Amino acid sequence: MSTLKWVRGVNGTLGWVAPKLVASKMRQAFMTPRDLPLRDWELPLLAKSERVTLRFGLSALRWGQGPAVLLMHGWEGRPTQFASLITALVDAGYSVVALDGPAHGRSPGSEANVVLFARAMLEAAAELPPLQAVIGHSMGGASAMLAVQLGLRTETLVSIAAPARILGVLRGFARYVGLPPKARSAFIRQVEQDVGMRAATLDVAHYQLDMPGLIVHAEDDNFVSVKESQLIHEAWFDSRLLRLKDGGHQRVLADPRVIDGVLSLLAGRSLQSRQSA
């Protein structure tokens, strides 16, 4: 019997008689990332990086010199997953700072969530020059959009393979692990208590996104539905939607069309800034 099948079986039985207990176990599992090993293709970029420890203990990697770009990886991700994009940004004259999210890599903590990721970006931005771009992948993209609502300032914003609604993510996880209705509701309430916000408010439909942006999603993404990208695009007036037929959830980060889109967004914004100066 597979582990997932066993977990679903236990949750499906115990979740009816002790919903809060089961919800607590699944909340912990939902918020505790695994430490996954680097791939060989990430190592050369890692060797070229400078390790930085920010004021409140967050760890980050830095490359290049020039206008600042801040990157945030997704759940169980790491900075070097942006290898192709980082190389292109550095070659184009940008300084890139990529965070280890809370409870990821060398950053402190044992649990993480979208709000902690967003606050980490705010902490990092306070120690960096004015940001030309913030780029987030998956949960990092959702966190970047939330961070803007919390006060993060950036000239441009890029969301890659990100969900539009955190409540949908929670419901999807609850179904995945087989939680019955009462345990599912208790799970969502417990997550909300931890993050300090109602899940329904963590939705781009309620956000104010007033900077130029790029939204990227692959149609064959099996982790976050491509439909989420359309919801983000509809809520974000000054955005371009780049939908790719393939690229999955991770490979999309190295797609040349994504890299060109990011560089074009930055170049266009830089030109506008010079013209208005």
17 — pLDDT class (breaks 50, 70, 90)? confident
1 — pLDDT class (breaks 50, 70, 90)? low
Strands 50-53 and 239-244: unpaired
Alpha helices for 200-243 (secondary structure H): 227-235
More confident residue, 276 or 92: 92
Beta-carbon count within 10 A of 165 CB: 19
How distant, in Å, are the alpha carbons of 62, 87, 273 from that of 277?
29, 29, 6
Distance in angstroms (rounded) separating the CA atoms of residues 224 and 137: 11
Alpha helices for 150-255 (secondary structure H): 166-176, 181-195, 227-235
**The token pair that represents 148 in the structure block:** 């803007």
Distance in angstroms (rounded) separating the CA atoms of residues 197 and 191: 9
The SS3 of residue 177 is: coil
Distance in angstroms (rounded) separating the CA atoms of residues 201 and 83: 33
More confident residue, 1 or 77: 77
Q: Is 3.40.50.1820 the CATH number for 45-164+220-269?
A: yes
**The token pair that represents 253 in the structure block:** 């980060």
pTM of the model: 0.94
Task: Give me the mean pLDDT over the 134-159 stretch.
Answer: 98
Task: For the chain, give the mean pLDDT.
Answer: 93
Q: Are 94 and 66 in contact (CB under 8 A)?
A: yes
C-alpha Rg value of the chain to the nearest Å: 19
Q: In this predicted structure, what is the pLDDT of residue 14? A: 81
Please say if the pLDDT value at position 147 is more than 50.
yes
Q: Are 94 and 67 in contact (CB under 8 A)?
A: yes
Q: In this predicted structure, what is the pLDDT of residue 272? A: 47
**The token pair that represents 175 in the structure block:** 């179904």
269 — pLDDT class (breaks 50, 70, 90)? low
Please say if the pLDDT value at position 249 is more than 50.
yes
Q: Where in the chain is the domain with CATH 3.40.50.1820?
A: 45-164+220-269
